[in-house]
Amino acid sequence: MSRVQRLVSDTQERGVQSQKMCQKFIDRGYPKNIVQEAQLWVNYPKTSKKQSECIPFVTQYSDYSDSIVQVLRRHWYILKNAYPTVNEFKLPPLISYRQGKTIERITFLGMRTKGMFPCLNCVQCPYVHRGREFVRPNSDLKIHLRGYYTCVSKFAVYVLICPCGLIYVVETTQMIKLRISQQRSAINLGNMTLPVAKNFVEKGHTSSDQLRFMVLETIPPQKRGGDQELKLKKREVCWINKLNSLYPAGLNRDYDFFLFI
């Protein structure tokens, strides 16, 4: 019946076809009262729900949520009077809550699985080289990871893996996902000043989606005021040497031994 309502544009013809369809259902054994109810439901005009004009305000629920809402509504008139032409400020916001933190979510007594895993909350997750160990392409060298790493790890030494098997070891103090975003952007732009992007262009790799990355190690804050960034740079040199990623075996051009002096 909905099909008749949708396909027949002429009002008079639609009524005739609707009656014929009802009779066909009755002839096939459908109860007459159910057929009539279906016909009324199809013919009854549908009313669309009016969208609320209130601005949605989404926040995390806590012990102070009720107080925050009261303050917000009490002083909403300031925005309303200051911007009378803005329709969104005419009504107080629609308050919505997401679940707050619980003790179960904050505390974790178990042992975290060691390895590299996606954070499941960023656009770089599909390019994570997952696993508990790193196997250097084109060799038998296998490195077991000693920590739990994701796209949001900081102060990390990580490896970029090209589809041709060449690797590039580098350190960063930022979140890994930010550096990967910059590396992929350089590849898409064909930046010949950066080794990984240059290799993609020279080897004819078609897309930055072919790039993979894995965190090898993170450096925690140093005890007694040690230089965390200096320690990170030293570990980068060690990993470059350990994985033999200097050109032509890899994409690293050099490293600085003066860090150890």
Say whether both 247 and 119 belong to one domain. Answer: yes
Q: Name the domain count of the chain.
A: 3
Pairing state between β 56-60 and 94-98: parallel
Q: Please name the helix (run of DSSP H) or strand (run of DSSP E) that holds residue 112, with its range, or none.
A: none
Please, what is the average pLDDT of the chain? Answer: 87
Please say if the pLDDT value at position 177 is more than 70.
Answer: yes
Say whether both 131 and 93 belong to one domain. Answer: no
Say whether both 63 and 145 belong to one domain. Answer: no
Say whether both 31 and 60 belong to one domain. Answer: no
Please say if the pLDDT value at position 44 is more than 80.
Answer: no
Say whether both 26 and 61 belong to one domain. Answer: no
Confidence of residue 43 (pLDDT cuts 50, 70, 90): confident
Burial of residue 26 (CB within 10 Å: 0-12, 13-18, 19+) is middle
Is 221 a member of any domain? yes
Question: How far apart are alpha carbons 223 and 147 in whole angstroms?
Answer: 19
Contact 157, 236 (CB under 8 A): yes
Burial of residue 137 (CB within 10 Å: 0-12, 13-18, 19+) is middle
Is 109 a member of any domain? no
pLDDT at 22: 86
> Mapping DSSP to helix (H, G, I), strand (E, B) and coil, where does residue 160 land?
strand
Say whether both 97 and 119 belong to one domain. Answer: no
The tens digit of pLDDT for each residue in 97-143 reads 887 777 776 676 677 789 999 998 899 999 999 999 999 998 889 99
State the helix-helix crossing angle for 11-27 and 32-43, rounded to 10 degrees.
160
- Mean pLDDT over 138-157 rounds to 93
Is 143 a member of any domain? yes
Say whether both 201 and 159 belong to one domain. Answer: yes
Amino acid letter, 171: E
The tens digit of pLDDT for each residue in 179-227 reads 999 999 999 999 999 999 999 999 999 889 999 999 999 999 988 778 8
Please say if the pLDDT value at position 10 is more than 70.
Answer: yes
Say whether both 128 and 157 belong to one domain. Answer: yes
Task: Give residue 99's domain range.
Answer: 56-103
The angle at the Cα of 130, spanning 129 to 136, to the nearest 5 degrees, equals: 55
Is 7 a member of any domain? yes
pLDDT at 142: 93
Say whether both 248 and 126 belong to one domain. Answer: yes
Closest-CA residue to 128 (of 144, 146, 156, 150): 150
